[in-house]
Amino acid sequence: MTARRGFCSLLKQDLVVAYRNGFFLVVVGLAVIFVILVRFVIPSEVKITPREYVVDLTEEQTIADLFMKKGLADILLPSEDALLSLMQEDRNTIGIVFRGSRENPTAVIHHQGHEPKKALNALSAAVSLVWNEAGALGRPSFSTPVLLRPESGKLPFNLSMIPLLIVTEVVLLGFLFVAVMVFQEKAEGSINAYRVSPRGTWTYIFSKSVTNVVLALCYGLLLFLPTIGPAPTLAAVLPLVTVASFLMTVTGLSVSVFFNSLSDFIYVALLVFVLFCLPVASYFFPAFKMPVFELIPSYPLMFGIREILFPTGKTGFYLPMLIRLAAESVVALLVAAWAVNRNLLKEAR
Amino acid sequence: MIEVSNLIFTYPRAHQPAVRGISFRIEKGQIFGFLGPSGAGKSTVQNLMIGLLPMQKGSILYDGKTLSDMGKSFFNRVGVSFEHPNLYEKLTGVENLRYYGGLFDKPVIPPEQLLDMVGLGDAKNKRAGAYSKGMKQRLVFARAIMNRPDILFLDEPTSGLDPGTAQRIKEIILSERDRGATIFLTTHNMYAADELCDQVAFIDEGRLVAQDSPRNLKLKYGKKAIKVEYTSNGQIKSEILFVDRDEDRYRLSQLIDSGTVETLHSQEATLEQIFIKLTGRGLS
């Protein structure tokens, strides 16, 4: 009971200090800027140059021969199933299936749905040229089906930024805010007063963490509601934001207690930030995915939020992802407890 | 009762110990003054006593128990006023006290009452960052006594205060003693120590060089003499007369009878003079 009272008192203090430090203002400001960007600046469609893959299902296999002669064997796939499977994996691909014969040339252009109309028209023209070169006797007929993803709709580019923006805040601000609070307490010496109070390491860590989680949730709501709207998916996103923010806060605590000022810490902070942002590359270019990226906590967070907001039919991913982040948080919490106790609360400096 | 035995402490990467075998005992309800110049090891001893530095050698017992025995709950019984004001500068005076008070497992003195006691009632809603050094010092002092501590550690509590405010703080310290608190007063201000302390200990280069009541130290190291200023042929003259010599006692009565005496001063040693005598260096 008294421990809870102590925690509440420290939490109130941390929230007031965070408010007076302008942390809430930063969070609101960033959220407003990102909402404006997402809603009014970033287009819902963006021109990208997708990779094309070809399947030759013609009677004479003339198309495959043609591509091999041109040295383009690497874009040939053996079957339509292989093509569709690859397209499911990589959103930056387009598949062209040549069918029929010279007398009755046809082509199917499978696309993801987010490609601009102009790009598809240009591709149709290019496919006609290929058929001509292969000796087609008439104009090919086209169909351009959108790749079907269960439960998936067309993903507007601007909204696809939301998971990225949420993760950026949780990672960057969660890590930095707690460090700023630690350095402030070191500079003021107020940490010494806490050290001779009846409260200890856990109260300190949890107070800082909850303060940061509140900031992260404020940001998440401010970004989510004006862009996605009050969707039921919010209920799934908020627990992820909570756990991830906690994880980043205790990580920030673990690192910052080894430094005496923000200027000493900033290089390490940048390094950590770059590390945690590496999965962004995979987000935009799925082909650019190294296995090690999946070990970085921001990876499941980013793709998890995307899957929640824009489902592609994956099931059973949410709970394991939440458990994984929670398990990582527990490990990070133990490290933080050791670091805070040893470097912040134990020895006079 | 606090018992400190054979305390030795060396800072990491330091060549010599900062504290070298210090022992003393503080009785319950006593004000114990720890006097020494800057760098003598006063704050190191205090930090060891409140657990801010890890023990290396020696022992510190509070009623027979170590800090480890008592854990964090020990700090419910302790108040600490630091030499350098350490406050949340973004919080107001009253907020600093309110939130800190919430950390204790027992009722505390209401912040407003404390602020009035130390003369900060009018500035309670001002941010601590905007306080003067003296105001910050008073706020830190108020924070130290808010839990009605059994043991109070005060590091230079009157440093940087004007005489009126310093007097107010000294009165509160004495009232804390009268309430039953044991007070460990670290200072290089010999006048404050003389005025407040029941016992004083001199520390120099990490060693204890003397410990006793201020009165006993003065008797032991001072001179039983009186300085007399008197007028003679329109001029002020002075003489130092030792009260344990017959001829000087006779001379003193002569001067008093002559009606020319202007001033009389006892020549007991000040604590600073005793410290200089013992260590060869001053307190400041």
**Interface predicted TM-score (ipTM):** 0.85
Say which DSSP state B269 is in.
Answer: P
CB environment B67-96: b (16+ within 10 A), e (fewer):
beebebebbbbbbbbbbebbbbbbbbbbbb
Cβ-defined contact of B102 to A2 (cutoff 8 Å): no
Distance CA(B54)–CA(B256), nearest Å, equals 61
Amino acid at B201: A
Distance CA(A71)–CA(B199), nearest Å, equals 97
Give residue-wise pLDDT tens across range A129-152.
Answer: 888 888 877 777 777 777 665 545
Q: Which of B73, B90, B143 is the closest to A20 by Cβ?
A: B90
**Which pLDDT belongs to residue A137?**
78
Has residue A99 got a pLDDT over 90?
no
Amino acid at A225: L
Q: Is residue A161 part of a domain?
A: yes
Taking contacts as CB-CB distances below 8 angstroms, the residues of chain B near A10 are 99, 102-103
- Pair A267, A196 in one domain: yes
**Which pLDDT belongs to residue A48?**
58
Name every residue whose Cβ is closer than 8 Å to that of residue A276 and which is 6 or more positions away in sequence: A171, A175, A248, A296, A297, A298
- The minimum CA-CA distance between A194 and chain B, rounded to whole Å, is 8
- Pair A341, A251 in one domain: yes
**Which pLDDT belongs to residue A128?**
87
Structurally, chain A folds into a number of domains equal to 2
- The minimum CA-CA distance between B214 and chain A, rounded to whole Å, is 30
Cβ-defined contact of A347 to B86 (cutoff 8 Å): no
Residue ending a domain, among A109, A143, A177, is A143
For chain A, say whether B70 makes contact (Cβ under 8 Å). Answer: no
A87 vs B103, which has greater pLDDT? B103
- Pair A219, A303 in one domain: yes
Distance CA(A158)–CA(B149), nearest Å, equals 60
- The minimum CA-CA distance between B189 and chain A, rounded to whole Å, is 23
Q: How far is CA A287 from the centre of its chain?
A: 15
Q: Which of B75, B88, B103 is the closest to A17 by Cβ?
A: B88
- Pair A170, A296 in one domain: yes
- Pair A36, A55 in one domain: no
Give residue-wise pLDDT tens across range A218-270.
Answer: 999 998 888 888 888 888 899 999 999 999 999 999 999 999 888 888 888 88
Q: Is residue A137 part of a domain?
A: yes
Taking contacts as CB-CB distances below 8 angstroms, the residues of chain A near B88 are 13, 17, 185, 188, 190
Q: Which of A2, A12, A192 is the closest to B99 by Cβ?
A: A12
| Beta-strand pair A76-77/A51-56 | parallel
Cβ-defined contact of B99 to A6 (cutoff 8 Å): no
- Pair A221, A161 in one domain: yes
Residue ending a domain, among A95, A111, A143, is A143
Has residue A47 got a pLDDT over 70?
no
Q: How far is CA B234 from the centre of its chain?
A: 44
- Pair A204, A326 in one domain: yes
Cβ-defined contact of A193 to B104 (cutoff 8 Å): no
Q: Which domain holds residue A120?
A: 51-143
- The minimum CA-CA distance between A6 and chain B, rounded to whole Å, is 4
Cβ-defined contact of A189 to B105 (cutoff 8 Å): no
Taking contacts as CB-CB distances below 8 angstroms, the residues of chain A near B10 are none
For chain A, say whether B84 makes contact (Cβ under 8 Å). Answer: yes
Q: Tell me what the mean pLDDT of segment A329-349 comes to.
A: 86
Helix (H, G, I), strand (E, B) or coil at A273: helix
- Pair A167, A289 in one domain: yes
CB environment A251-283: b (16+ within 10 A), e (fewer):
bbbbbbbebeebeebeeebeebbeebbebbebb
A175 vs A88, which has greater pLDDT? A175
Give me the helix-helix angle, A2-20 and B93-101, nearest 10°.
150
- Pair A191, A114 in one domain: no
- Pair A161, A120 in one domain: no
Cβ-defined contact of B102 to A6 (cutoff 8 Å): yes
Q: Is residue A151 part of a domain?
A: no
**Which pLDDT belongs to residue A348?**
46
Q: Is residue A245 part of a domain?
A: yes
**Which pLDDT belongs to residue A150?**
53
**Which pLDDT belongs to residue B83?**
84
Distance CA(B92)–CA(B123), nearest Å, equals 8
- Pair A216, A113 in one domain: no
Tell me the pLDDT of chain B (284 aa) as tens digits.
899 999 999 998 888 999 999 999 999 999 999 998 888 888 899 999 998 888 999 999 999 999 888 988 999 999 999 888 899 999 999 999 999 999 999 999 999 999 999 999 999 999 999 999 999 999 999 999 999 999 999 998 988 888 889 999 999 999 999 999 999 999 888 888 888 999 999 999 999 999 999 988 888 887 777 888 999 888 999 888 888 788 888 999 999 999 899 998 887 777 888 888 788 776 66
- Pair A330, A271 in one domain: yes
**Which pLDDT belongs to residue A308?**
87
Distance CA(B267)–CA(A142), nearest Å, equals 116
Helix (H, G, I), strand (E, B) or coil at A141: strand
Residue ending a domain, among A118, A143, A168, is A143
Give residue-wise pLDDT tens across range A282-328.
Answer: 777 766 667 778 888 888 888 888 888 888 777 788 888 899 999 99
**Mutation for B interface: A190, A199, A343, A345, most B CBs within 10 A:** A190
